[in-house]
């Protein structure tokens, strides 16, 4: 059984789409846990703030099938397949890690945003602190600690009130 970490984000009707995405993921995979929800500024474009989190699931499905499920869930939540990379999102689901698989073709693993974006690394470090990056051979907890030392880190705030997510506590 593969351990898979998925990054979720939304900046359109955020609570609705994050909750809908979590429910669909729990229907498709063996839901394990989630990070807190983080509020972050849009990166790469001017737009509303995002809600971001990381979810751990397990599955016997191959990575290509996992990716296809994630794309279907995005589309069921209003995401257009041809939408611009840096644009508002009803729901974005990225396969961040699939066990310790390393690959360049889609889905690229481990996802490069892990090392580039606080809204990916902090929630991942929160639920996989002692897990090692398969290329860098550093734990995500250590990577987050190092990232925090950078002067130009992205503005990221954990949400205080997430009662609307109590079924995924």
Residue 148 has a pLDDT of 85
pLDDT for 43 equals 78
What is the predicted pLDDT for the residue at 46?
Answer: 81
pLDDT value of position 156: 86
CATH number, position 72 = 3.30.70.560
Q: What is the reported pLDDT for 86?
A: 66
Rounded to whole angstroms, the Cα distance separating 18 from 59 reads 21
In three-state form (DSSP H/G/I as H, E/B as E, the rest C), the secondary structure along the chain is: CEEEEEEEEECCCHHHHHHHHHHHHHHHCEEEEECCCEEECCCCCCCCCEEEEEEEEEECCCHHHHHHHHHHHHHHCCCCCCCCCCCCCCCEEEEEEECCCCECCCCCECCCHHHHCHHHHHHHHHHCCCCECCCCCCEHHHHHHHHHCCCCCCCEEECCCCHHHHHHC
Position 164 in a domain: no
Identify whether 169 is part of a domain: no
- Residue numbers of the domain that contains 149: 2-158
| Structural domain contains residue 165 | no
Question: Looking at the chain, how many residues does it have?
Answer: 169
What is the dihedral sign for C-alpha 113, 119, 125, 127?
negative
pLDDT of 41 reads: 86
In this prediction, residue 138 carries a pLDDT of 97
User: Is-contact 73 24, C-beta < 8 A?
Assistant: yes
In this prediction the pTM is: 0.94
Instruction: Establish if 168 belongs to a structural domain.
Output: no
Query: What is the distance between the alpha carbons of residues 169 and 95, in angstroms, rounded to a whole number?
Result: 21
User: Does residue 106 form part of some domain?
Assistant: yes
pLDDT of residue 54: 98
- Residue 36 forms part of a structural domain: yes
Spatial contact of 83 and 93, defined as CB atoms under 8 Å apart:
no
* Number of structural domains the chain divides into: 1
Cα 131 to the center of its chain, rounded Å: 16
How does pLDDT run along the chain (169 residues), one tens digit per residue? Answer: 999 999 999 999 999 999 999 999 999 999 999 999 999 988 777 889 999 999 999 999 999 999 999 999 999 998 877 776 767 889 999 999 999 999 999 899 999 999 999 999 999 999 999 999 999 999 999 999 999 877 666 678 999 999 999 999 7
pLDDT at 84: 67
């Amino acid at each position: 059984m593969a351990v898979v970490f998925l990054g979720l984000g939304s900046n359109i009707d955020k609570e609705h789409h994050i909750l809908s995405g979590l429910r669909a993921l729990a229907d498709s995979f063996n839901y394990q846990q989630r990070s807190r929800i983080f509020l972050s500024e849009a990166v790469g474009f001017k737009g509303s703030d995002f809600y971001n989190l990381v979810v751990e699931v397990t599955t016997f499905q191959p990575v290509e099938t996992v990716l296809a499920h994630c794309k279907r869930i995005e589309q069921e939540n209003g995401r257009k397949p041809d939408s611009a990379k840096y644009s508002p999102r009803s729901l974005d689901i990225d396969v961040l890690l699939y066990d310790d698989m390393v690959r360049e073709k889609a889905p690229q693993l481990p996802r490069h945003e892990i090392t580039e974006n606080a809204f990916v690394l902090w929630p991942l470090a929160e639920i996989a602190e002692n897990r090692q990056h398969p290329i860098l051979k550093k734990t995500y907890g250590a990577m987050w600690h190092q990232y925090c030392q950078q002067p130009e880190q992205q503005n990221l705030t954990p949400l205080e009130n997430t009662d609307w997510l109590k079924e995924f506590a």
